[in-house]
Structure 1
Amino acid sequence: MEIKKINYDFSVCKVTDFSLVDFESEYCFAGKTDEENSLVCITENIPDNVIEHEDGWKAFRIQGILDFSLIGILSKLSTLLAENCIGVFAISTFNTDYILTKKDNYEKAINVLSSAGYKIV
């Protein structure tokens, strides 16, 4: 299985609404619940109507399109990282999964996954 490094810095944000979000950005993940409007975006694209944000995240994704019948992929990756004291912020899309780690742990995370047999691209 291939893991693709994504060469941007990311921020996890809470926004008042999505009116100022740049949905044309290469990476932009939005979530809405009855309690909040959440956004994960490239740090340089943080909108002006942000309430809170946490910077300093890096990301990678599982390459390819994952069939919905596949079980345990994200669990295996997050377990490997947790066993090495690396916290994650996971995002799933229709096609695949993205995992964010804090910048300080990013290279360590990549090395852990590479040592476990994942191809890093």
Structure 2
Amino acid sequence: MLLEWISGDFSIAKWTTKRKIEDLDQFSFWSRTDKELSLVCPTNKLPNDVEMNEDGWKLFRVSGKMEFSLVGILSQISGCLAKQKISIFAISTYDTDYILIKEINAKLAQEVLESEGWDFVE
């Protein structure tokens, strides 16, 4: 399977109070639970009213659509990175998985994954 970097710098944010989800006209991932509303988006699109946020993330995805019958893809990726003490923030959508890595670890993460047989789309 191929991995693909999404260009730009990303932030992870949250609200614990009511807030409307908005269209940011770019990549964004909103998740609402009974406890919080979370957002992953390009740092330059981060709304001003976030309660908490963390900047400095890079993002890649498993390229293409993944069948629901596939097992262990995210586990394989996170396991390779965990061995090198690289933490991740993972997002799964209907089609694929997205993995955020702190910018300081992005190059090492790619090297580690490539050494384990993963390829990155150029």
What TM-score do the two structures reach when normalised by structure 1? 0.93
- What is the CA deviation profile of residues 88-108 of structure 1, one whole-angstrom value per residue up to 9, with x for unaligned ones? 000001100000010010010
Write out aligned runs for 1:19-98 (5 A). 19=21, 21-25=22-26, 27-98=27-98
Secondary structure at the aligned position of 1:50 is classed as coil
Following superposition, the deviation at residue 3 of structure 1 comes to 0.5
Following superposition, the deviation at residue 24 of structure 1 comes to 2.0
**Residue segments in structure 2 that go unaligned for 5+ positions in a row:** none
- What is the CA deviation profile of residues 43-93 of structure 1, one whole-angstrom value per residue up to 9, with x for unaligned ones? 000012211100000010000100001110000100000001100000001
Q: Which consecutive aligned stretches of 4+ in structure 1 deviate over 6 angstroms post-superposition?
A: none
Following superposition, the deviation at residue 18 of structure 1 comes to 3.0
Instruction: Please tell me whether the aligned partners of residues 4 and 120 of structure 2 are also in contact (alpha carbons under 8 angstroms).
Output: yes
The equivalent residue for 1:117 is 117
The equivalent residue for 1:18 is 20
Following superposition, the deviation at residue 23 of structure 1 comes to 3.6
What TM-score do the two structures reach when normalised by structure 2? 0.93
Secondary structure at the aligned position of 2:117 is classed as coil
**Residue segments in structure 1 that go unaligned for 5+ positions in a row:** none
RMSD: 1.1
Instruction: Please tell me whether the aligned partners of residues 89 and 101 of structure 2 are also in contact (alpha carbons under 8 angstroms).
Output: yes
Q: Distance in 1 between matches of 2:20 and 2:74?
A: 28
Q: How many residues align?
A: 119
What fraction of aligned residue pairs are identical, expressed as a percent?
A: 47
Instruction: Please tell me whether the aligned partners of residues 29 and 41 of structure 2 are also in contact (alpha carbons under 8 angstroms).
Output: yes
Instruction: Please tell me whether the aligned partners of residues 24 and 45 of structure 2 are also in contact (alpha carbons under 8 angstroms).
Output: no
